[in-house]
Amino acid sequence: MKRIAALTMVRNDDFYLRKWVEYYGSQLGMENLYIFFDGTDQTVADFCKGTHTQLHEKIGNHVVAAEKGRLKFLSDKAAELLRTGYDLVIGVDADEFVVVDPALGQSLVEYLSARNIRTSLSALGLDFGQKLPEESDITTDAPFLNQRHYARIGTRYTKPSIVSRPCVWGSGFHRIRGHNFHIGKDLYLLHFGYFDLARLRERFSDRDRLDQGWGSHMKKRARTIDLCTRLKAGDFDFWTTFGRICQSIFRPPYAWNKPAMFELKIIVKIPDRFRNIV
């Protein structure tokens, strides 16, 4: 089996980080998780015990500059891990989870170990929303996938998150400079950053994020909740197959190494086989 690490950088985000540590720790082993805290004023929670954690000087004071600096830092850390014994590194935000379709009966390590990944591998992005009023506020008492069942198939979260050699991620892990991307069959990136209206409202009031310029970004992402509420959900297996083919073929004119899907608004209902994964 391949030796695989996962890394992330967080600031004031224990809600997602707890779930991140729980999931990737169970898949890869706690000793293979690398967590960097953006700011020496942060506190390392007890649930990070057994992982590699580091407090880092705060990177930038505005969202654009901070993102560029953050991804340069994480790209360098991933390169260091690859040079010192790891076969693969998974780079994701704390609200993102790379999962294998349970129908395969494989763990994440088993799936990735069987693939020949020359530079990077992407998982098909599923951006979760909240179907109002059918789905209530999220709680920590149950897995996310027991509480949320609808997601948009989009290009934004089809990211080259898994790398096999040193490279440079663009902002948000959305692309790798100078390299194309390849989407793994039966592999998904589940994004939960904007899947709860109550949490979004709470984040709008976070002075730290607003000062960095995240306000307009968060408002734009809230559209996923509106889409999941208004649109009829399609068949998961049919539309994810369509999305994977479409995103593998088409590119936006401004970025050949990002996927395109003609701005289609496709909502799918997640099959019960995914319950309890995250």
Residue 212 has pLDDT above 60, yes or no: no
Least confident of 188-197, 229-238, 248-257: 248-257
Euclidean distance between CA atoms 35 and 60, whole angstroms: 18
Confidence label for 108 from pLDDT (cuts 50, 70 and 90): very high
How does pLDDT run across 37-85, given as a tens digit for each residue? 987 888 888 999 999 999 877 775 555 567 778 889 999 999 999 999 9
- Residue 10 structure tokens: 């967080």
Give the integer Cα–Cα distance in Å for 165 and 78.
9
Least-confidence region, from 92-101, 121-130, 249-258: 249-258
Reported as a single tens digit per residue, the pLDDT across 169-191 is 988 888 898 888 899 999 999 99
To the question of pTM greater than 0.85 for the whole model, the response is yes
Output the CA–CA distances (angstroms, integers) from residue 110 to 27, 54, 75, 120, 141, in the order listed: 10, 29, 24, 17, 29
CATH code of the domain occupying 4-274: 3.90.550
